[in-house]
Chain A
Amino acid sequence: MIHCDNLTRAFEGDGVFDISLQVQAGQTLGLLGPTGAGKSVLLRVLAGHLRAQAGTASIFGLDCWRDRRRIFRRAVYAPMVPALEMRMTGEEYLNFSARYHGGFNPQKARRLTEQMDIPLTGQCRRMGQEERKKLGLLAALALDAEVFLLDEPFGSLSAFARGALADALQALRQSGAAVLMTSHVLEEVRRACSHIAIIRQGRLVVTQPVEALSLTRQKVYHITFNSPQQAASFAAEWEAGVELIGTRALVAIPASPQALLRTLARYEVVDLIGGREDAEEGFLRYYGDDIV
C-alpha cells in the first residue's frame, strides 16, 4: 500500500536519501530514528507536502505528489504537532474535521475518546500539549481509512494514553490498515508495530519484523587491556565494531567468540566481561554517534 523506491528528498539540512520501503495491508511499520534523522520529512513526502527529488513515493500505487487528493480519500496523515483550529472547542474541531475529511466513524471516535480520555469541551487554545495531541490523533484515527501516516503519535502523551494508543494501533493493524508511524523510542515501536525500520542521517539502516530484533542482538565484550597502546593495537587489528575508551575496548560480535579469543591471546588482557546486549543497546548500535 505504501511504497517508496530509492526516494530522495533533501530538506533544510536534513532529508531522506535513497529510501526504499514498503508497508502492506495489516502491517504497522515503526520508523525509528533520532531527531533530525529524516522521519518527518519522509512522512511529509508521503503526505504530498514535499516533492521527491529522486525516486518515487506512492500510496495505493498513486504518486504522493500528483495524486494526493485521490490518496487522501483512503488515507490519513497526522502531523507531529496537530494543527488545530484554536478558536474551536474540541467537539467543534472533531465535527469540522469529520465533515471536511469524510469517512468519519462515530463509534470509533466514541471508543477512542473513552480509551484515551480526550476532553472535547473547551477551546483548543486553552488545551494543554497532551490534550491537543490526543485531539489531533482522535481526528485522524476516527476515520475509516486504509492507510495511516502518523508522525510521532506517542510524543507528548502520558503513559496511560500511550497504552491506549498502542491498543488502537494494534486494532488498526488487525482491521487490515497499513500504518506508517515515526518514533524515537524503541519501546513504543516494539509495542505498537509489526515491523521496524531504523533511519539514521536520512538513510534506512535496517528494516525488519519487530520479532527479528531479538535475533539480531549481538554479544558485547568489554575488554580491559594493560595499556592504551595495547587497546589501540587491538582495535587496529580487529577493525570492525570496536569502541575504544582508554584501556578498554568494547567489541560487538554476532556469532561465536572463538576468533576474538584467538586474537586476544596475543595481548595482555586485564579483564574480560561478556554478555548479550538488550534490545535498546541493539537499537543504539544502529544509531551510531547520533545519540549522546
Chain B
Amino acid sequence: MISVLFFARFRPKSLLIWLLAALVLGAGAVAAYLPSPLEQLRFLRGEMPELFTVLGFVGDSNLPAFVLSALYGLLLPILANMQAVSLGRHLLARPLADGRLAQLLAAPHARASVMLLHFLALAVWIVLTQAACLAGQMLSAVLLFPVADLTALSRLSIGFIPTALLLSAFCCLLALVSPSEARYARRARLLLALMLILAMAGRLSGWTRLRLFSVWSLFDGRSLAFGAGGWGLAGLAGGLTLVCLAAALLYFQQREL
C-alpha cells in the first residue's frame, strides 16, 4: 500500500497556496493586456527597452505574445524555481535530515519505489500549479478577450511543464547528494537563480550563448506561442528530466541513511 505515502505527501493547505498564486498570476497577466495597463507598459518599455528585453518581453502584438512576455519571461520561472526548491526540501531534504525517509525505508518497499513516489507527488504538484496558472489565464481571457487564441495559451503552458519538471528532478538529485537540509537549500537556490540569471542575460544581443548554460533555453516560448514548433526542446527537457531522475535513483540506491 505505497499509495498511502503518495497521499501522505500532499499537504492540501500548502498546495492551495501555490495553486492560488499561480491562478492569480495567470489571470493577472492576461488582465494586464487591457488597454490602460498595456499603455503604461508600452511607455515603460520605450523608456527602458534593454531592461524589458532582459525580462523577456518579446512583444504585445497579440495576447499570447503578451502573456509570454509578461508571465513566462520572469514570473513563472521564478515561481517554478521557488516551487522546485521548496518541494525538494519538503519531500526529500528534510525527511532525509530528520530520519523520516530512513523510517520509510525500514519497510518492505524498494528504495526506487519510495523515491519515484516522491517525485511523482512533486510532478503532480507542479502540473497542478501549471494547470491553475492556465486556468487563471483562460478565465481572464474568456471574460476580457473572448476572441483570444486560447490554444496558444495552452501550448505555452504545456510546453513550460517539462522545464519545470526538469528543475524539480534536478532539485531531487541535489537533495539526495547534499549532506544537510540547509546545504541543499543554499545550493538549490544558488544554482537555480544562476540559471535564471544566465537565461535573462542570454536575451541581450551578443550574450545569447549564455542561454545554453541554462535549462530555460529548453523552453522555446516564441515558437510555442506562434504555433511554430518548440516541442522538440520541450521533449529534450522531458528526456533530461528522466536522466536526472535516473541519476537520483542510482545515487539513492547506494546512499546511506
- Assuming the A-B contacts A48-B105, A79-B102, A85-B100, are A100 and B110 also in contact, with contact meaning beta carbons closer than 8 angstroms in the complex? no
- B4 near A: Cβ within 8 Å? yes
> How many residues on the B side are at the interface (Cβ–Cβ under 8 A)?
21
- B15 near A: Cβ within 8 Å? no
- A126 near B: Cβ within 8 Å? no
Chain A residues lying within 8 Å of B95, measured Cβ to Cβ, are 83
Closest chain B CB from A75 CB (angstroms): 8
Closest chain B CB from A155 CB (angstroms): 15
- Assuming the A-B contacts A73-B108, A96-B8, A102-B1, are A83 and B102 also in contact, with contact meaning beta carbons closer than 8 angstroms in the complex? yes
Interchain CA distance A47-B107 in the complex, whole Å: 10
Contact status B1-A70, CB under 8 Å: no
- Assuming the A-B contacts A49-B256, A83-B100, are A100 and B5 also in contact, with contact meaning beta carbons closer than 8 angstroms in the complex? yes
Chain A residues lying within 8 Å of B106, measured Cβ to Cβ, are 47-49, 72, 76-77, 79
Partner of A69, one of B98, B102, B110, B257: B110
- B42 near A: Cβ within 8 Å? no
Closest chain B CB from A170 CB (angstroms): 24
Partner of B105, one of A68, A70, A88: A68
Could you list which residues of chain B lie within 8 angstroms of chain A, going by C-beta atoms? 1-2, 4-5, 8, 11, 95, 98-100, 102-110, 256-257
Could you list which residues of chain A lie within 8 angstroms of chain B, going by C-beta atoms? 44, 47-51, 68-70, 72-73, 76-77, 79, 81-85, 87-88, 96, 99-102
24 contacts between A and B (CB under 8 A): A47-B106, A50-B257, A68-B105, A69-B108, A69-B109, A69-B110, A76-B106, A77-B106, A79-B102, A82-B103, A83-B95, A83-B98, A83-B99, A83-B100, A85-B8, A85-B100, A88-B8, A96-B4, A96-B8, A100-B104, A100-B109, A101-B108, A102-B1, A102-B107
Known: A47-B106, A100-B104. 6 other contacts (CB 8 A): A72-B107, A79-B102, A79-B103, A83-B102, A96-B4, A102-B107
